[in-house]
Amino acid sequence: MATKVEQRTYEDAVSWLREHGFDLIEAPGTQSRVFLKKYNVSAAIQKTDDGGVKIFAYPGYLVGAEISKLVNRGYQQFLKTTKTEVPATADHLKALHQCSEELKEALALPSLYNESLGTVSESYHYDRIKDRDKPEVERPKRPWQAVKAKAAVKKASR
């Protein structure tokens, strides 16, 4: 069953964000773009040609003065900026999730099931699948394979 999604205007979204505790900063040199901040998470929205609103910069935790991107390495999530990469803590992820959900509500965007369960990373880098599409002889040795090979060489030399 299809439901009609309510569309919000740019002005309505900005008003909603102000009423719900977001700090808003006009983007320099533009009249239709706003940076917003809450829970030490920042994002940017802009006005569309038809008076609506869309996300210009997706929410990211502030590391220093830079908006980070959430990267999932399979064993740990990281906050990555152009200058640094730090492990994401539960508090970071909770803040990102909360801000993202509130931003969706402000813009009348759908809240998808998988995103509502927790924080979704912008990119996924699993080390165990990297280069798996190459023929086995061309694949680099994984650390656990290199250790086994060294142990076999030592055992054979005894």
pLDDT tens digits, residue range 15-36? 888 888 888 888 777 778 888 9
What's the mean pLDDT in 64-90? 87
pLDDT tens across 41-73, in order?
Answer: 998 888 888 888 888 888 889 998 888 988 887
**Which pLDDT does position 117 carry in this prediction?**
54
**Which pLDDT does position 7 carry in this prediction?**
77
Three-point CA angle 42, 125, 101, nearest 5°: 30
Name the pLDDT band for 1 (thresholds 50, 70, 90). very low
The CA-atom distances, in angstroms, between 73 and each of 78, 110, 130, 151 are: 8, 27, 11, 28
**Which pLDDT does position 58 carry in this prediction?**
85
Provide the 10 A C-beta neighbour count for residue 104. Answer: 17
What's the mean pLDDT in 117-141? 67
pTM of the model: 0.66
